[in-house]
């Protein structure tokens, strides 16, 4: 009877802001995502040797400017969610942050697409 129960599912998300530029390339980003997926698979209930009671679901949160990266991710089992940043940088109230956000990490305010992880479905 226990075999019919649905296993709890853990969501894992990666984000793609750019598909490739002078700092990184699309192949490297996709390879890293696939290595992560493989590692998660090995420790999940889908691998009987793991002894895990948890299944998994892979998400790729993709900025609309990086849509060309999505095909291989979809074929590899990621559910792709295309998004834009949740706000425009002109909406940032603090003047210092608003005028310097473009220097943050690789992608400035585009990094905030990662917040979309909080909106992933809870099925």
pLDDT digit string (tens) for 69-119?
A: 888 889 889 999 999 998 888 888 988 888 888 777 678 888 889 999 999
User: What is the Cβ-side half-sphere exposure of residue 7, based on CA atoms within 13 angstroms?
Assistant: 15
Q: What is the pLDDT of residue 99?
A: 85
Rg (CA), the chain: 17
Provide the whole-model pTM: 0.83
Tell me the per-residue pLDDT of 35-82, one tens digit each, with 9 for 90 and over: 999 999 999 999 999 999 999 999 999 999 988 888 888 988 999 999
Given strand 55-63, what is the order of strands in its sheet? Answer: 9-16, 55-63, 78-83
Q: How far is CA 23 from CA 18, 29, 58, 117, in A?
A: 10, 11, 25, 24
Arithmetic mean of pLDDT, 2-21: 81
Angle, CA 50 vertex, CA 46 and CA 52 arms, to 5°: 70
């Amino acid at each position: 009877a226990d075999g019919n129960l649905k296993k709890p599912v853990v969501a894992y998300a990666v984000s793609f802001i750019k598909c490739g530029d002078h700092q990184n390339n699309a192949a490297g980003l996709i390879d890293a995502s696939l290595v992560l997926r493989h590692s998660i698979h090995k420790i999940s209930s889908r691998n009987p040797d793991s002894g895990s009671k948890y299944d998994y679901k892979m998400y790729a949160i993709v900025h609309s400017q990086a849509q060309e990266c999505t095909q291989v991710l979809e074929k590899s089992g990621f559910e792709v969610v295309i998004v834009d940043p949740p706000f425009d940088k002109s909406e940032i109230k603090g003047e210092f942050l608003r005028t310097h956000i473009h220097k943050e990490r690789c992608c400035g305010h585009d990094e905030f697409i990662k917040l979309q992880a909080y909106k992933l479905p809870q099925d």
